[in-house]
Amino acid sequence: MSTATPHSLAQFVRVAETARARVSFFLDGVEVEGLAGDTLLTAILTQQRHLRRSEFSGEPRAGFCLMGACQDCWVRSEDGRRLRACTTPLREGMRVLMRFDMDCELNEAGAR
C-alpha cells in the first residue's frame, strides 16, 4: 500500500510556519497533507523518510541538492508524468506515486 510513515519517522520535521493552509494530496493512494507553499519534496519528506528507491541499487533516496540541479528527486504522477519533486509546487489533490513498476519503465525506454 503506502510508503507513508508516522511523522516521528519523517525526514523533515516542521518547526515553523505551521499555521499555513493545509493542502491534501495522495501519496501512493493514501491521502496525506502538506502546507500551502510547500514543494512536493517538502510535503513528501514531512510524511516519510525517503522519496524513492534508486533504480540502480534499490537503496532509499531522499533527494540530494533540494534545488533542481541533481536529478535525484524524480517521482511520478498517477497519470505517468515525471515530476521533479524539489521544484514542483504542491497542489490540492495531486496524486503522486513513490513506487512504480520499473519493468514498465524499462520496456518504455527499450521501445523508443
Residue 72 belongs to a domain with what CATH number? Answer: 3.10.20.440
Query: What is the spatial distance between Cα 40 and Cα 83, in angstroms, rounded to a whole number?
Result: 9
Q: Is residue 101 part of a domain?
A: yes
Query: What order do you get walking across the sheet with 22-27 strand by strand?
Result: 30-35, 22-27, 95-97, 74-77, 82-84
Share of the chain above pLDDT 70, in %: 80
pLDDT of residue 20: 95
pLDDT of residue 100: 53
Q: Is residue 50 part of a domain?
A: yes
Q: Is residue 2 part of a domain?
A: no
Query: Which of 3-17, 32-46, 70-84 has the largest mean confidence?
Result: 32-46
Q: Which domain holds residue 55?
A: 7-111
Query: What is the spatial distance between Cα 66 and Cα 104, in angstroms, rounded to a whole number?
Result: 27
Query: What is the spatial distance between Cα 38 and Cα 24, in angstroms, rounded to a whole number?
Result: 12
Q: Is residue 1 part of a domain?
A: no
pLDDT tops 70 at residue 39: yes
Q: Look up residue 3 and give its three cell numbers.
A: 510508503
Q: Is residue 35 part of a domain?
A: yes
Q: Which range has the worst mean pLDDT, 20-34, 68-82, 92-106?
A: 92-106
| Tens digit of each residue's pLDDT (9 = 90 or more) over 45-81 | 999 888 877 778 888 888 788 788 888 888 999 999 9
The total number of structural domains in the chain stands at 1
Are 98 and 44 in contact, with CB atoms under 8 Å apart? yes
pTM summary value: 0.75
Q: Is residue 30 part of a domain?
A: yes
Q: Is residue 71 part of a domain?
A: yes
